[in-house]
Structures are given as C-alpha cells and as structure tokens.
Amino acid sequence: MQGFALYPFDPPGDVAALRTDLRGWLAMNQPQDDVVARANCWASFDPDFSRALGAAGYVGMTLPAQYGGGDHHPLERYVVIEELLAAGAPVGAHWIADRQTGPLILRYGSEEQRERYLPGIAKGELYACIGLSEPGAGSDLAAVRTIARETTEGWRINGQKIWTTGAHFSHIMLALVRTEEGSERNAGLSQLLIDLDTPGITIRPIIDMAGHHDFNEVFFDDVLVPHGALVGTRGQGWKQVTAELGLERSGPERYLSSHALLAALVDAAGPDPDPAVAGLIGELTAEMWTLRQLSMSTAAKLAAGEDPMVEASVVKELGNAFEQDMPRRVQAIVDCAWDGDTDLAKLLRALLIASPSFSLRGGTREVIRGIIARGLGLR
C-alpha cells in the first residue's frame, strides 16, 4: 500500500528512482516501532531519525544549497513526504520546520534569519512550532491578543498561546502577535521568530485523552527578543500567515494519517476477502486516490507561486472527513475485538481515539468551511 504512479502534473526528475532510493533507505534506517506508532506518524518525535533523514538529504529538500538545502523541486519533496507517511516513518520532530517554517523564512525572512536557521532545519536538527491559537482566538485567529511592543532594546512580548504542537521539544516558535497598539482583527499583526530558551517563556503540557503529550500552552511574561526577530514586513502578519497555512493544509498528511489502518485492513483481508470487506477496501482506495489528486494539484499551484487557499482548504476538509470516517467504517464492517492484539485491532483502537483531533489541527472544520464558502462567493 505504499507509493503511486500517476500525477496531475509533469513530475520533475526521475521520480521512480527517488521513490526506490528512499524505500531502500527506509528499509535500512526506519525504527521498527510498534505498529501504532506508524499511524499519525507526523506526530511521532524521533530526533535521531530526523537527523539521519537530514543527513541523507530528505529534509530541507526545496531550500537553496547555500543554506544547506537540496535545491529540489517542491513536487519532488511531495513524493518523499508521501513515501515517508505511507511507511509510517517518525517525522514529527522536524515536520513543522521543514513543511512551513523553513519556506516562510526563505520567502519573508532576512538574510541573517536565513543563515541562522535554515541550515539547522535542513540538517533535521532545528525544530519549530507555530504560535497561532490563543484562549479566545483559536478558530477566530484574527482575535489574537498576544502583544509585542517595540522598544529601544527589541520587542517585548506578553501573552499566551495554546494548542501549540511540539513546543516542548522545539527550538523556535514562529508567532503571530499584535504589534500595533489599538489595532483590531487582521490589521496590525506581525510575525516574530522567537528562540524558546529566551527568559520569560513558560511551556506547560496539555495531555490529550489518549495520554499523549503533543500540545502545549506557552506563556510570554515580558519576553525580550531582538529587533531582528521580526519576519517580513511589520503589520503584514495576516497576509504572511495565510500563505503559510496553505502549506499546512494541503499536503499528503491530510489523507495519510490513517493510512496504516487501510494497509492493515488489506493485509488482514488476505487474497480472498469477504465481499463486504473487499467493497470497503475499494471505496477507501478510490477516495484516497481522489484526495491525492486534489492534494497534488494544490501542491503544483503552490510550487508555481500561487496562493490556492480555497483549494488547500478543500483538501483539508475532505481529507479530515476521510481520515475520521475510516476507523468508524472499518469498525462497522470488520469483526475485530476492541482489546485484540492484531495489528488491525491495535490501529483501529488507536485511531478511534485519536481521529477526532484530526479536524482541529490546522483550523477547525467550521473555519475551513467558511474559507471555502467565501472563496466560492457564497458568503
């Protein structure tokens, strides 16, 4: 159940060779963890694996060589990400830095920021988190109230972020803050790159219902960062962050988080499956293929420098529905004990618990549907 052959674009380079090389590398280097770790693997933190992946040239692929990157086409990176997720590789440590922080620094950051942060990202050694949601400003991101005031010493930050994935192991946060006093909604916002070992920052864990520590609260108590922490143009944070969210919402992780369950279902069904199970496998495969085509088409637009916010939101909305429905659909048709010790039972149990969160990360379904509606002129 790994890999695909057709593309909604002209693939650059020798994609087949790229897939073959990566699969060979994974066979030698991927940790053989419990099968459950292979589901939702872009939340699995393994810094040793991230560093090895970076050393092999599979992190920072689209960054310029002068910053330690591979100078690859974005769609070559897409193929690599697709393979890593299908294999269930533990890519969570470097995930956000590689997916969006690095490209945003390259696009909007200063030369000093590029030289300071991009080489570490490309090595799989520097990890980032996103400082967006706040109490009272989660789904309504324009209600951000964390304040950054410019002083002679630098930027003084006070406020709180919440639901911050990976803050407890990240080195930097790219935070959306309100820099213009008296501003409201999406005006007066800027982005700051904040080193998380700066005095005045407190990180507290949020433990989810499965007992996992992925999310955090982050508090800023009169935190001082240098003037050079500003990314891009002051007051243009809203424009910058919406471009960043296009990268976050449209990738293959939006339909491959539950892929391990589909692979386990195929294995458990065997060569002569029950007709109902065979029908479900066919339905899920066809839906995944459609989502893949949508995702890759959106990736092609991003690679061309476009800002396909509506398309990215469609991928996220439909992908979330697919990933959340899959465990329920499997449970409804397969005789599988809740406390069973087969791969299928373990994955089904884990994803029934974890999948409700899939529609929260990157924007709730209500927010995403609002973006789609506005983009289509429906509101």
Q: What is the pLDDT of residues 131-140, one digit of tens each?
A: 988 887 666 6
Give the Cα separation of 316 and 57 in Å (integer): 28
Whether residue 181 is predicted with pLDDT greater than 60 in this model: the reply is: yes
Considering only 71-75, 165-169, 179-183, which range has the smallest mean pLDDT? Answer: 179-183
Share of the chain above pLDDT 90, in %: 47
pLDDT given for residue 168 in this prediction:
93
Q: What is the pLDDT of residues 317-348, one digit of tens each?
A: 888 889 888 999 999 988 887 777 888 999 99
pLDDT given for residue 29 in this prediction:
92
Whether residue 363 is predicted with pLDDT greater than 70 in this model: the reply is: no
Instruction: State the catalytic residue, choosing from 83, 125, 248, 323.
Output: 248
Whether residue 310 is predicted with pLDDT greater than 50 in this model: the reply is: yes
Fold of 130-238: Butyryl-CoA Dehydrogenase, subunit A; domain 2 (2.40.110)
Whether residue 8 is predicted with pLDDT greater than 70 in this model: the reply is: no
Q: What is the pLDDT of residues 60-93, one digit of tens each?
A: 999 999 999 999 988 889 889 999 998 889 999 9
**Can 15-126 and 130-238 be said to share one CATH topology?**
no
What CATH code is assigned to 250-375?
A: 1.20.140.10
**Exposed (0-12), middle (13-18) or buried (19+): which is 133, by Cβ within 10 Å?**
buried
Residue ranges of domains in the chain: 15-126, 130-238, 250-375
Neighbour count for residue 207 (Cβ, 10 Å): 10
Give the Cα separation of 65 and 69 in Å (integer): 5
Torsion of CA 275, 277, 282, 285, to 10 degrees: -170
CATH 1.10.540.10 is right for the domain spanning 15-126 = yes
Q: Of the candidates 28, 49, 25, which has an alpha carbon nearest to the alpha carbon of residue 37?
A: 49
pLDDT given for residue 67 in this prediction:
96
pLDDT given for residue 23 in this prediction:
94
Share of the chain above pLDDT 70, in %: 91
State the pTM of this model.
0.85
- Annotated active-site residue 115? The verdict is no
Query: Cα–chain-centroid distance for residue 62?
Result: 16
